């Protein structure tokens, strides 16, 4: 197995590591660095639970290799809230609206919605619902997530 | 019940949409799921699984795999057998067809675990697992229920492929058919329900760390750490205290994780053998194809109705696919128990069977008996269409309303406070059906096909005291010297939000701020035994236990405050953490002050009072608490494509006292989304060689946000008879959802014809192609071309496979049956073994049946030509007269036992060894 040295920034902290070429970014974040907030639920790119932000883009960390993240800036769910603990508005909206139950899919949902709003602060309900189509939640029937999306869209309506 | 009338503070928490305590950690990535656990020296497990559905293992070659980097050990069943294990069903009865942790000489389904590879990393374990060479002599597998009826034995040591059966086939001819013959209208309907993969977002997971002398800490994705610890301890014959199961966060369970199964128990056993921590994280491919499945079943219901639509009689023939290794052999008797308690049904009979096949085993899934609502509600709608009646009127004529109660169903279920009729009225009052019918008629003129479906049901929740693991709940509360409250509970949340709802109850009943309450659960070392999430029970039972424990604690606080203030306890109130004495504002103290006195200065407490501010209560609720609901949905079916769009969905449910509407509605919504998946999308098909065909989430279609509409909720809030008045709500959406949606689709399609064709056979899921079958009146889906033979019509029910004792009546007469026998009764919740003692006097037969739970004497039986007939009356779990009809030979007794509402069970007995 070939090993590669990578250098990347995660939630504002710089990390250097040697990784096997085949190690996925999600696995690396979880196993090597302890960012266990990123959850691996299907490991084949369908469910969206493992979504992290890589250089401003929402990526499925199960489909990206850790070596591909060399030099990248990554935000995981641990990096969404403000340093003082104030929740990101996406996190707050999910909380306000019972947008999560077991919480396993939630980190990916939060990263995707935060990224949509980052790209377009005036994102509409349908923009965010379209982005949510790449996420599977087995608990909530999407009711609270949809209410959270409306709350987020309403913030700038 | 007026739970506001109380001397605690005025601030109400019960009934509020209080934000969840669980969310802070889960939203910020600080939850603790099993895969988050890393231990020094921990090794990783990958299973080698059978690629064929049925066959004899000729050889297992580990040579290449053993040489792979990082591999520490590879175990087969021969290795694991060093530690004896008795796998149990959910009812804690032994699995009848002994299931081993790894395959023992034979494989019986694709995905059967054969070897366990232990390596330094998960990737290395998977690498090596791929290089284990299995040679299996493949045999023709049985895949479908139809295969099972005629094919070779799945388990060669059994008499047939019937995993379990109940019901009384004779009853059709003797009691039901005559009523059907006289009925002005007879409707028969069949539903084939596809196989479902429960698919919690977190796959199964287990970490086992052996410690000290035979102790073990286990992290496991489960539905109750207490139940998991009890199960593992029981299966391995260890003291329960030696196993600590921790499950702080679990990514959904839905019945799949009811009990630890082969892979989790194998991790525990292997950790003992290997002596180091081991971790197994199931991947999605395994989760879909090799986790226990659910639902595959087919049922035919025949109803007789009078001209007004009143029910006269019913008969059903039910079968479910148990796969090879079910989590307990199951004929799903609950389908029949809960088919009619909400309805005025004068006569009902059934046969119900579970069949072994060479497919993955049957496990639990939200509302395992849900077929009762699906077949009943769709058949009622079909009857209404046939007879030109309004579906709401048909239900009104037959439903049980509050004034009709108490009433006992034909199968002995007594209902005293159900409200399905009231829920229906509430629903109808909030949906303008007449306006919809107008809109529907207009739309049809434009070639748009709208449909409305309505369904009603009741659901048994909060079961306790009738099945081994389904117990009461214990709650331990403490006001710490800081004045803050901690609660130690045996509850478990896989998304249920029990820390939230229980804290709301405490805040409400004690008079403290919600924020000042910390709830600890998710660990078998915390709290006393409770079965966690199973059967929609935690809100009811743990809620009641918390309610009462909090009141006990409040009473103590008041007694201490009254004593210190020379006041009466009636004068004391607690509000937002402050304890006030009426008329003496200067005597107000904080809970902190009182707690410091209670712990630190016990001499100031009333004479004889225990120090500290703690309370514990174990709540044993009524055996069952019923929840009722009526749902309505509106769909539009695209006649060009066959796609179904759900336009509106309204739920009118009665779950009694609602602790937190956000949590209750979340449970209903999650169940409804799963219902939509079952009706329209999800399916785990098998090919003829027994290969599961949905191996990824691209094949297994989970509902997404675009498949699920906004749900509207109406809450009826009729308090139950439990402490606090709650009723369970965890499973209901998945039970009432499917018939509501199927009825709406059938209504939309009615201009084209009957859903399921004139034969009335509806096969789920209702894919666009199957919808087009109806619209285009031809076999678009190809379903008819591949259809299995229709199940036997009720009058031609397949011969009951129970022993036909009359055929054996010519047995030799000179047999002595006197003395003791080891007798086994194949009861609906697993086999029951007990001692039978017989004494004969000529043809008179008497004796007793004795089990650890007690002894039942009987007399007045007969013994003629080897045929034994006697009756035994029992009170538990329900009052029922057991009618035995047995045939004795020199060393065995076989026959059957009619068990009233439970139908007929097989009986065997042998002389004690």
What the block records as the tokens of B486 is: 């901690």
pLDDT recorded at residue B783: 74
pLDDT band at B2 (very low <50, low <70, confident <90, very high): very low
Which tens digit of pLDDT belongs to each residue from B463-509? 988 888 889 999 999 999 999 999 999 999 999 999 999 999 999 99
- B784 part of a folded domain: no
Nearest neighbour of B33 by CB, restricted to A22, A47, A104: A104
pLDDT recorded at residue B468: 83
B252·A102 Cβ contact <8 A: yes
pLDDT recorded at residue B700: 98
Of the listed ranges B6-20, B136-150, B709-723, the least confidently predicted one is B6-20
Q: Do B324 and B309 share a structural domain? A: yes
- CATH level 3 topology of A3-79: Ubiquitin-like (UB roll) (3.10.20)
For residue B874, what is the domain's CATH number? Answer: 2.40.128.120
User: Which residue in B has a C-alpha nearest to residue A32's C-alpha?
Assistant: B38
Nearest-CA distance from B4 to chain A in Å? 26
ipTM exceeds 0.95: yes
CB pairs under 8 A between A and B: 175
Residue B782 has pLDDT above 70, yes or no: yes
Range of the domain at B340: 297-462+624-775
Task: Provide the 10 A C-beta neighbour count for residue B81.
Answer: 15
User: Which residue in B has a C-alpha nearest to residue A94's C-alpha?
Assistant: B27
- B148 part of a folded domain: no
Q: Which residues of A touch B496 (CB under 8 A)?
A: 101
Give the residue-averaged pLDDT of B372-384. Answer: 98
- B457 part of a folded domain: yes
Give the residue-averaged pLDDT of B325-351. Answer: 96
Q: Which residues of B touch A109 (CB under 8 A)?
A: none
pLDDT recorded at residue B829: 60
- B14 part of a folded domain: no
pLDDT recorded at residue B896: 86
Which tens digit of pLDDT belongs to each residue from B153-176? 999 989 899 999 999 888 999 999
Nearest neighbour of A94 by CB, restricted to B27, B202, B672: B27
Angle between helices A143-154 and A125-132 (to 10 degrees): 140
Give the residue-averaged pLDDT of B215-244. Answer: 95
Q: Which residues of A touch B494 (CB under 8 A)?
A: 101-102
DSSP string, B181-223: HH-SEEEEEEEEEPPB----SS--EEEEEEETTTEEEEEE--S
pLDDT recorded at residue B878: 64
- Rounded Cα distance between B214 and B227, Å, is 20
Which tens digit of pLDDT belongs to each residue from B654-677? 999 999 999 999 999 999 999 999
- B187 part of a folded domain: no
Nearest neighbour of B249 by CB, restricted to A41, A103, A140: A103
B249·A102 Cβ contact <8 A: yes
Residue B260 has pLDDT above 50, yes or no: yes
User: Which residue in A has a C-alpha nearest to residue B498's C-alpha?
Assistant: A101
What the block records as the tokens of B411 is: 């199968």
Backbone angles phi, psi at B393, to 5 degrees: -65, -40
Q: Do B353 and B305 share a structural domain? A: yes
Contacting residues for B434 by C-beta, under 8 A, at least 6 apart: none
Give the residue-averaged pLDDT of A112-122. Answer: 97
**Which of B121, B201, B252, B709 to substitute to test the interface with A, most A CBs within 10 Å?**
B201
- Rounded Cα distance between B727 and B717, Å, is 9
pLDDT recorded at residue A1: 66
Counting every residue written for chain A, the total comes to 157
Which tens digit of pLDDT belongs to each residue from B685-710? 999 999 999 999 999 999 999 999 99
User: Which residue in A has a C-alpha nearest to residue B32's C-alpha?
Assistant: A36
Please name the helix (run of DSSP H) or strand (run of DSSP E) that holds residue B113, with its range, or none: strand B113-119
- B877 part of a folded domain: yes
CA-based nearest residue to B399, from B318, B309, B481, B489: B309
- B782 part of a folded domain: no
Give A89-154's CATH code, choosing from 3.30.2350.10, 1.10.510.10, 1.10.150.120, 1.10.238.10. 1.10.150.120
A141·B711 Cβ contact <8 A: yes
Give the residue-averaged pLDDT of B866-893. Answer: 85
A109 interfaces chain B, CB cutoff of 8 Å: no
Q: Do B417 and B473 share a structural domain? A: no
Residue B794 has pLDDT above 50, yes or no: no
- B64 part of a folded domain: yes
- Rounded Cα distance between B134 and B50, Å, is 8
Task: Provide the 10 A C-beta neighbour count for residue B4.
Answer: 11
Range with the largest mean pLDDT of B406-415, B785-794, B849-858: B406-415
Domain boundaries, chain A: 3-79, 89-154
Q: Which of residues 11-50 of A touch B (CB under 8 A)?
A: 20, 22-23, 30-31, 34-44, 46-47, 49
- Count the domains in chain B: 4
DSSP state of B679: I
Nearest neighbour of A141 by CB, restricted to B36, B199, B708: B708
The answer to whether B23 and A102 are in contact (CB under 8 A) is no
A37·B20 Cβ contact <8 A: no
A101·B35 Cβ contact <8 A: no
What is the distance of C-alpha B427 from the center of its chain? 27
Q: How many Å is the maximal CA-CA distance in chain B?
A: 92
- Rounded Cα distance between B32 and B27, Å, is 12
Q: Which residues of A touch B251 (CB under 8 A)?
A: 39, 41, 102-105
Q: Do B473 and B556 share a structural domain? A: yes
Among the three residues B578, B604, B619, which one is the final residue of a domain in this structure? B619
Residue B274 has pLDDT above 60, yes or no: yes
Q: Do B479 and B369 share a structural domain? A: no
The answer to whether B208 and B260 are in contact (CB under 8 A) is no
pLDDT recorded at residue B797: 34
Average pLDDT value over all residues in chain B: 93
User: Which residue in B has a C-alpha nearest to residue A40's C-alpha?
Assistant: B202
Residue B808 has pLDDT above 60, yes or no: no
CA-based nearest residue to A127, from A136, A142, A117, A118: A117
Give the residue-averaged pLDDT of A53-67. Answer: 98
B251·A102 Cβ contact <8 A: yes
A136·B123 Cβ contact <8 A: no
Nearest-CA distance from A114 to chain B in Å? 12
For residue B499, what is the domain's CATH number? Answer: 3.30.365.10
Nearest neighbour of A138 by CB, restricted to B25, B123, B201: B201
CA-based nearest residue to B229, from B523, B538, B665: B523
% of chain B surpassing 70 pLDDT: 94
- Rounded Cα distance between B733 and B358, Å, is 31
Q: Which residue has the tokens 């060689």?
A: B689
What the block records as the tokens of B746 is: 């059938």
Q: Do B103 and B220 share a structural domain? A: yes
Q: Do B448 and B359 share a structural domain? A: yes
Which tens digit of pLDDT belongs to each residue from B65-116? 999 999 999 999 999 999 999 999 998 988 888 899 999 999 999 999 999 9
% of chain A surpassing 70 pLDDT: 97
A75 interfaces chain B, CB cutoff of 8 Å: no
User: Which residue in B has a C-alpha nearest to residue A91's C-alpha?
Assistant: B27
% of chain B surpassing 90 pLDDT: 84
**Which of A35, A141, A151 to substitute to test the interface with B, most B CBs within 10 Å?**
A141
Among the three residues B597, B619, B641, which one is the final residue of a domain in this structure? B619
What residues does B260 pair with on adjacent strands? none
pLDDT recorded at residue B882: 87
Nearest-CA distance from A15 to chain B in Å? 19
What the block records as the tokens of B883 is: 């009618």
Among the three residues B619, B653, B685, which one is the final residue of a domain in this structure? B619
The answer to whether B251 and B226 are in contact (CB under 8 A) is no
Task: Provide the 10 A C-beta neighbour count for residue B718.
Answer: 20
Residue of higher predicted confidence among B169 and B650:
B650
Give the residue-averaged pLDDT of B786-797. Answer: 45
Residue B6 has pLDDT above 50, yes or no: no
Nearest neighbour of B36 by CB, restricted to A36, A47, A141: A36
A138 interfaces chain B, CB cutoff of 8 Å: yes
Residue B315 has pLDDT above 80, yes or no: yes
Q: Do B301 and B225 share a structural domain? A: no
What the block records as the tokens of B451 is: 């449909």
Q: Which residues of B touch A143 (CB under 8 A)?
A: 665-666, 669, 708, 710-711
A98·B250 Cβ contact <8 A: no
User: Which residue in A has a C-alpha nearest to residue B223's C-alpha?
Assistant: A102
Nearest-CA distance from A143 to chain B in Å? 6
Q: Which residues of A touch B20 (CB under 8 A)?
A: 95, 98
pLDDT recorded at residue B7: 46
B705·A129 Cβ contact <8 A: yes
What the block records as the tokens of B909 is: 């007995």
Residue B792 has pLDDT above 60, yes or no: no
Give the residue-averaged pLDDT of B880-901. Answer: 86
Range with the largest mean pLDDT of B417-431, B521-535, B756-770: B417-431
**Which of B22, B23, B25, B27 to substitute to test the interface with A, most A CBs within 10 Å?**
B27
Residue B152 has pLDDT above 60, yes or no: yes
pLDDT band at B812 (very low <50, low <70, confident <90, very high): very low
pLDDT recorded at residue B9: 59
**Which of B26, B664, B696 to substitute to test the interface with A, most A CBs within 10 Å?**
B26
């Amino acid at each position: 197995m070939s090993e590669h040295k990578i250098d990347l920034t995660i939630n504002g902290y710089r990390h250097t590591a040697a990784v096997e070429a085949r190690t996925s970014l999600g696995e690396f974040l979880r196993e090597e660095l302890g960012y266990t907030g990123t959850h691996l639920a299907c490991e084949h790119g369908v469910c969206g639970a493992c979504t992290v932000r890589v250089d401003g883009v929402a990526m499925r960390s199960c489909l990206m290799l850790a070596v591909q993240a060399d030099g990248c800036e990554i935000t995981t769910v641990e990096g969404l809230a403000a340093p003082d603990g104030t929740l990101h508005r996406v996190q707050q909206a999910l909380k306000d609206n019972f947008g999560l139950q077991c919480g396993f899919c939630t980190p990916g949902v939060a990263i995707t919605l935060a990224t949509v709003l980052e790209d377009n602060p005036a994102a509409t309900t349908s923009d965010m619902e379209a982005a949510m189509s790449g996420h599977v939640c087995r608990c909530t029937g999407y009711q609270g997530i949809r209410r959270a999306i409306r709350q987020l869209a309403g913030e700038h309506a | 019940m007026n739970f506001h009338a109380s001397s605690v503070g005025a601030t109400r928490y019960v009934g509020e949409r209080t934000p969840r305590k669980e969310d802070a950690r889960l939203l910020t990535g600080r939850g603790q799921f099993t895969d988050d656990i890393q231990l020094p020296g921990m090794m990783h497990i990958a299973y080698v699984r059978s690629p064929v559905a049925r066959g004899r293992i000729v050889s297992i070659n580990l040579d290449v795999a053993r040489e792979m980097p990082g591999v520490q050990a590879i175990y087969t069943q021969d290795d694991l057998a060093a530690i004896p294990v008795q796998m149990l069903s959910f009812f804690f009865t032994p699995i009848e067809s002994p299931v081993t942790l790894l395959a023992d000489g034979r494989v019986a389904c694709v995905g059967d675990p054969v070897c366990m590879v232990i390596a330094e990393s998960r990737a290395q374990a998977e690498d090596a697992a791929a290089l284990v060479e299995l040679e299996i002599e493949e045999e023709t597998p049985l895949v479908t229920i139809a295969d099972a009826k005629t094919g070779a034995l799945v388990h060669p040591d059994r008499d047939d492929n019937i995993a379990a059966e109940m019901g009384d086939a004779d009853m059709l001819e003797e009691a039901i058919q005559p009523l059907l013959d006289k009925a002005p209208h007879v409707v028969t309907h069949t539903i084939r329900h596809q196989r479902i993969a429960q698919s919690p977002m977190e796959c199964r997971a287990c970490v086992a760390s052996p410690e000290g002398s035979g102790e073990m800490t286990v992290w496991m994705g489960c539905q109750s750490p207490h139940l998991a610890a009890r199960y593992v301890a029981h299966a391995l014959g260890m003291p329960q205290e030696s196993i600590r199961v921790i499950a702080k966060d679990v990514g959904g369970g839905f019945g799949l994780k009811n009990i630890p199964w082969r892979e989790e128990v194998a991790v525990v056993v292997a950790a003992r053998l290997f002596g180091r921590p081991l971790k197994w994280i199931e991947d999605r491919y395994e989760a879909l194809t090799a986790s226990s499945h659910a639902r595959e079943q087919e049922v035919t219901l025949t109803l007789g109705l009078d001209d007004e639509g009143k029910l006269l009689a019913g008969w059903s023939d039910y079968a479910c696919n148990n796969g090879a290794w079910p989590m307990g052999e199951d004929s799903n008797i609950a389908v029949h128990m809960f088919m009619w308690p909400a309805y005025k049904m004068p006569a009902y009979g059934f046969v119900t069977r579970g069949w072994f096949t060479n497919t993955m085993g049957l496990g639990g899934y939200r509302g395992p008996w849900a077929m009762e609502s699906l077949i009943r509600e769709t058949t009622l709608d079909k009857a209404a269409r046939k007879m030109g009646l309004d579906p709401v009127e048909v239900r009104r004529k037959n439903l049980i309303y509050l004034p009709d109660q108490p009433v006992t169903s034909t199968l002995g279920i007594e209902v005293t406070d159900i409200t399905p009729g009231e829920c229906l009225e509430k629903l109808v009052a909030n949906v303008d059906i007449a306006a919809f019918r107008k809109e529907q008629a207009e739309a049809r003129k434009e070639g748009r096909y709208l449909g409305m479906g309505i369904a009603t049901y009741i659901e048994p929740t909060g079961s306790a005291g009738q099945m081994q693991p389904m117990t009461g709940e214990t709650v331990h509360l403490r006001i710490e010297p800081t004045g803050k409250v901690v609660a130690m509970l045996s509850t478990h949340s896989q998304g249920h939000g029990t820390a939230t709802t229980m804290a709301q109850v405490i805040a409400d009943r004690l008079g403290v701020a919600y924020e000042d309450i910390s709830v600890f659960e998710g660990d078998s070392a915390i709290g006393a035994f409770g079965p966690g999430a199973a059967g929609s029970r935690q809100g009811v039972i743990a809620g009641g236990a918390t309610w009462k424990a909090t009141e006990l604690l409040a009473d103590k606080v008041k007694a201490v405050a009254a004593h210190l203030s020379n006041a009466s306890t009636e004068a004391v109130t607690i509000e937002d953490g402050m304890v006030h004495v009426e008329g003496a504002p200067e005597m107000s103290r904080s809970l902190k002050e009182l707690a410091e006195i209670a712990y630190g200065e016990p001499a100031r407490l009333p004479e004889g009072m225990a120090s500290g501010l703690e309370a514990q209560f174990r709540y044993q609720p009524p055996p069952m608490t019923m929840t009722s609901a009526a749902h309505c949905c509106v769909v539009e079916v695209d006649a060009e494509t066959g796609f179904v769009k759900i336009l509106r969905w309204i739920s009118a449910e009665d779950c009694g006292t609602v602790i937190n509407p956000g949590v209750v509605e979340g449970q209903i919504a999650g169940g409804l989304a799963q219902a939509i998946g079952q009706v329209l999308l999800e399916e785990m098909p098998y090919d003829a060689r027994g290969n599961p065909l949905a191996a990824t989430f691209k094949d297994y279609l989970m509902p997404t946000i675009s498949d699920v509409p906004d749900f509207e909720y109406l809450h009826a809030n009729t308090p139950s008879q439990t402490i606090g008045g709650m009723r369970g709500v965890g499973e209901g959406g998945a039970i009432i959802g499917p018939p509501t949606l199927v009825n709406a689709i059938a209504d939309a399609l009615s201009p084209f014809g009957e859903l399921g064709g004139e034969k009335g056979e509806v096969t789920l899921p209702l894919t666009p192609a199957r919808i087009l079958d109806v619209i285009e009146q031809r076999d678009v889906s190809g379903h008819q071309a591949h259809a299995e033979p229709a199940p036997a019509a009720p009058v031609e029910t397949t011969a009951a496979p129970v022993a036909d004792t009359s055929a054996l009546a010519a047995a030799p007469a000179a047999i002595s049956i006197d003395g003791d026998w080891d007798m086994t009764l194949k009861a609906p919740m697993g086999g029951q073994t007990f001692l039978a003692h017989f004494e004969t006097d000529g043809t008179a037969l008497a004796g007793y049946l004795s089990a650890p739970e007690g002894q039942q004497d009987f007399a007045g039986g007969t013994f003629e030509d080897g045929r034994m007939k006697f009756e035994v009356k029992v009170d538990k779990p329900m009052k029922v007269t057991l009618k035995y009809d047995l045939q004795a030979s020199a060393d065995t007794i076989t026959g059957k036992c009619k068990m009233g509402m439970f139908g007929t069970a097989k009986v065997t007995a042998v002389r004690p060894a």
